[in-house]
Amino acid sequence: METQLGQTLIRMIKGDITVQETEAIVNAANSGLMGGGGVDGAIHRAGGPQILAECKEIRARQGMLPPGQAVITTGGRLKARYVIHTVGPVWAGGGKGEDETLRSAYHSCLSLARERGIRSISFPSVSTGIYHFPVDRAARIALREVKDFVSGQPGFAEVRFVLFSDQVLREFEAAWQEITGKAAK
């Protein structure tokens, strides 16, 4: 599915985030920034040791990365020039600020990309894997934040959501239709 939002192309696809050719990809990292499972492990494996070395430098300089925040490294061997690492919330039933933390994670990534002059970015579905955030809820939060951000601060040519299954893609398409009133194309 793709649609134009002002000057920004919003695209949702099923695929592998490690092979995207956007300027930056987003890593759903853990607070330690040392790699892990899921998207995090895949990005570290595909990007090679340079990403981990830069993450170690960031960790030595500032400590653990709090949920809702983001940092940036180069892309190592990836097609993307940069990796923006963010930590989403672990789902605890919805009463511990998880929605706001997830919104903050997306906002932090977009802000960091904008500060660096990055014009195209690919996101995974942050926190919906091993952190168990409900996909439908996460999709609405992610898409609202992207819609609000690019509407208020133009500069992105493309924001892409690279989703790991047909079911997650359908959830994102349904959320987009709910938010905008526009059916997926």
Catalytic center residues = 40
Handedness of CA 176, 179, 183, 185 (dihedral sign): negative
What is the spatial distance between Cα 22 and Cα 81, in angstroms, rounded to a whole number?
Answer: 8
Q: What are the C-alpha distances in Å from 28 to residues 11, 49, 136?
A: 19, 18, 17
Determine how many CB atoms are found less than 10 A away from the CB of residue 159. Answer: 27
Q: Which two tokens stand for residue 17?
A: 């985030």
**By C-alpha distance, which of 124, 140, 145, 170 is closest to 25?**
124
Bridge-based pairing state of the strands 82-86 and 70-74 = antiparallel
